[in-house]
């Protein structure tokens, strides 16, 4: 059984997108900022819908869900990791994997490993807007036979984020609000295997933004560094939509972040109980900006 993955695709499409990204790197001028930063806005590294920026960072994440299986409900625990490395200030490569444990039937092992490429296209600091494009390939046959699929998937994706810091004074307390989103197909190399279209968005209210750029209401730590949010990751395949609604929070500082979210299934096909995601994230480009967090090419 394949565990909660929606990364599908064709190698030809991946090659085309990689070539386009390479051309953009060569011919698009402009300096970028570390992490997902646009003006005064910091978009956190969210857990289920990827943020619109690039960075030199590592992510560790635990997930628990009960999902439908061939023999009834299955309890699935996942331990995921991802490492993102800046090639330039705008281009990052990534590698990731997930160790899964499931019941009914009992199985455990690594899901297929994945690699990715992401390029920061545009940042408008005054309007707190940024957008990126990327592609991620799940490499079929690299995981456990009990868990992973034998075929690969490729997922070209566009990412965007918008903060509302440009709202007028009459709406000042809405300035901490931000939205982010992603969308793209997931295309499989397996004969007869269905493709999917993945999309999702987040709604965030940044208490650090409120304190620093709207009005200091005297929140003590750790509350002054918390971003409450809701993520809604969705996927549509063969006429059916699956996904979750994930309310939670992220605590963030200069060097990293910690987050917790519930996972509420949108329908029976998505899960039978509320799950959980727990994240620990480190920003190498701030922890060690002159060594491990430095782009390979300046």
pLDDT tens string 43-90: 999 999 999 999 999 999 999 999 887 777 889 999 999 999 999 999
Domain assignment present for residue 60? The answer is: yes
Q: By C-alpha distance, which of 127, 123, 132 is closest to 157?
A: 132
Residue 34: predicted pLDDT:
52
Residue 98: predicted pLDDT:
98
Q: What residue numbers bound the domain in which 53 lies?
A: 11-287
Residue pointed to by tokens 């990412």: 159
Domain assignment present for residue 5? The answer is: no
Domain assignment present for residue 283? The answer is: yes
Domain assignment present for residue 69? The answer is: yes
Q: SS3 of 229, please? A: strand
Domain assignment present for residue 236? The answer is: yes
Reading the block at residue 44, the tokens are 């956190």
Domain assignment present for residue 298? The answer is: no
Question: What mean pLDDT comes out for the span 166-188?
Answer: 98
Residue 260: predicted pLDDT:
98
Domain assignment present for residue 293? The answer is: no
In which element (H, E) is residue 199 found? strand 196-205
Domain assignment present for residue 22? The answer is: yes
| The total number of structural domains that make up the chain | 1
Which residues, at least 6 apart from 48, have a Cβ–Cβ distance to it below 8 Å?
200, 231, 233, 244, 246, 261, 263, 277
Reading the block at residue 144, the tokens are 């456990």
Residue 246: predicted pLDDT:
98
Reading the block at residue 247, the tokens are 């309310």
Q: What is the CATH number of the domain that holds 52?
A: 2.40.160.40
* Alpha carbon separation from 193 to 6, 113, 156, 196, 293 (Å, rounded): 12, 19, 18, 10, 39
């Amino acid at each position: 059984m394949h565990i909660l993955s929606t990364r599908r695709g064709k190698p030809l499409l991946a090659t085309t997108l990689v070539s386009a990204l390479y051309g953009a790197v060569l011919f698009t001028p402009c300096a970028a900022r570390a992490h997902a930063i646009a003006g005064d806005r910091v978009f956190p590294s969210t857990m289920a819908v990827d943020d619109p920026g690039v960075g030199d960072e590592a992510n560790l994440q635990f997930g628990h869900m009960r999902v439908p299986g061939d023999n009834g409900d299955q309890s699935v625990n996942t331990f995921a990791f991802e490492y993102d490395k800046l090639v330039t200030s705008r281009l990052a490569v990534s590698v990731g994997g997930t160790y899964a444990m499931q019941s009914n039937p009992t199985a455990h092992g690594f899901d297929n490993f994945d690699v990715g490429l992401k390029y920061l296209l545009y940042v408008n600091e005054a309007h707190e807007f940024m957008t990126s494009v990327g592609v991620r390939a799940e490499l079929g046959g690299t995981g456990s036979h009990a868990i992973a699929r034998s075929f690969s998937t490729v997922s070209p994706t566009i990412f965007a984020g918008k903060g509302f810091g440009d709202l007028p004074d009459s709406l000042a307390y809405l300035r901490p609000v931000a939205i982010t989103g992603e969308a793209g197909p997931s295309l499989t190399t397996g004969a007869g295997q269905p493709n999917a279209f993945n999309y999702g968005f987040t709604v965030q209210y940044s208490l650090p933004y409120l304190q620093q750029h709207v009005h200091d209401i005297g929140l003590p730590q750790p509350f002054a560094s918390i971003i409450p949010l809701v993520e809604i990751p969705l996927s549509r395949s063969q006429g059916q939509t699956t996904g979750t609604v994930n309310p939670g929070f992220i605590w963030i500082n200069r060097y990293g972040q910690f987050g917790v979210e519930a996972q509420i299934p949108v329908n029976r096909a998505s899960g039978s109980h509320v799950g959980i995601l727990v994240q620990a994230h480190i920003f190498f480009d701030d922890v060690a900006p002159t060594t491990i967090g430095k782009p390979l090419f300046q």
